[in-house]
Copies of this chain bind each other. A is one copy, B any other.
Amino acid sequence: MAWLRLSINSLLLVALAGLCGPLRDSAVMAQDRAVDPLPSWNEGKSKAAILEFVRRTTKEGEADFVPLKERIAVFDNDGTLWPENPIPFEVAYSLDTARAMMTAKPELKERPAYKALAEGDLAALGDNHLKLLMELIVATHADQTTAEFDKSVAQWIATARHPRYQRLYSDCTYEPMQEVLRHLRANGYRTFIVSGGGQDFMRVWADKVYGIPPEQVIGSAFKLKYDLVDDRPTLRILPEIALIDDKAGKPVGIRHFIGRTPVMCFGNSDGDQQMLELTTIGRTPSFGLIVHHTDAEREYAYDAHPKSSGKLVTALQAAPRRGWVVVDMKADWKRVFADPK
């Protein structure tokens, strides 16, 4: 009976929502409890913590109610919204693009970085190769216009496939986290990416893949130079770093780009520890969450591996003291990816 009453209420609310067009405050959606907003999550502490925090920060009258304007949630990208193995996907973009550059200009093979790439050495990402790798990342990001870079990324993301999953990289996002993004937005939270990856790289596809528009994507960035070229406004990407949006750079990026402290923060590595601190320490209500990669079978299992780009040691140690939710990917997630398209 209670269920029936709830459904009729929901129908009325949906009808009203249809009449009024899109509502700024999606309170209507929030009240529709008949549908599980996180179906890819197993029941447990992690799922309950997310749902309960969203409920009490979005229900007027609750002590922890957060006004609409302040409902900001920040997400790391690599390892939090999609995998970062066997190599971060933006590095895969750089290596694929550098290979294409070698085909077009064979003389590049004489340079050590391209030579290592041609011989397959760089795939291992060994410490000795970090400098060579950086050279290829800069070469495939800078010394071109923003329009050229955007076009190149768009072509890659539409065609390149993940070596293990054999599907488009953009089809490798974590479905449980996509559900969290959608659930937060349905409750009036604005979702931002705050990533160590390149913001220009992510902005090309983040709206389509995550529903996150360019102005809500913060990441590392190269310096730019504006000029009129042939009387056309042109932004050229310089081979100099403007911001490394990682570790202590993440709170800096949040202050520069958002100018408010988030209410919720989602990460997966020590590189996210500082923005988890910024979001949660001394602030009520606030929410911090770490995705712990514990599932070698369906995805990857790692934390303290010294060479992992997503090393998780100090943040994991701090989690209990800071009250951060630690998601056990293997136990907490019913499935990792959506069915292939």
Contact = CB atoms under 8 A, between A and B. Distances in A.
27 contacts: A19-B20, A20-B21, A21-B24, A22-B23, A23-B23, A23-B24, A146-B255, A200-B259, A213-B260, A214-B259, A215-B257, A215-B259, A217-B259, A221-B256, A224-B252, A224-B256, A225-B248, A226-B249, A228-B277, A232-B281, A232-B282, A233-B251, A233-B277, A233-B278, A235-B251, A235-B252, A257-B257
Interface of A: 16, 19-25, 69, 146, 199-200, 203, 213-215, 217, 221, 223-228, 231-233, 235, 242-243, 248-252, 255-260, 274, 277-278, 281-282
B20 A25 contact: no
A260 B257 CA distance: 14
Q: Is the interface of A mostly helix, strand, loop or mixed?
A: mixed
Most buried by B among A16, A19, A221, A235: A235
A243 B215 CA distance: 18
Contact of A251 (B214, B226, B231, B243): B226
Given A199-B259, A213-B69, A248 B232 contact: no
Contacts of A243: 242
Nearest to A276: B233
Given A21-B25, A23-B21, A233-B278, A248 B260 contact: no
A225 B232 CA distance: 37
A249 B227 CA distance: 10
A231 B281 contact: yes
Shortest beta-carbon contacts, A-B, top 8: A214-B259, A20-B20, A226-B248, A226-B251, A233-B278, A22-B24, A224-B252, A203-B259
A260 B225 contact: no
A231 B243 CA distance: 25
A250 to B, nearest CB: 8
A219 to B, nearest CB: 10
A250 B233 CA distance: 12
Nearest to A250: B226
A278 B232 CA distance: 8
Nearest to A260: B214
Contacts of A224: 251-252, 255-256
Contacts of A259: 199-200, 203, 214-215, 217
A258 B215 contact: yes
A21 B22 CA distance: 10
Nearest to A202: B259
Nearest to A206: B259
Contacts of A227: 248
Contacts of A226: 248-252, 274, 278
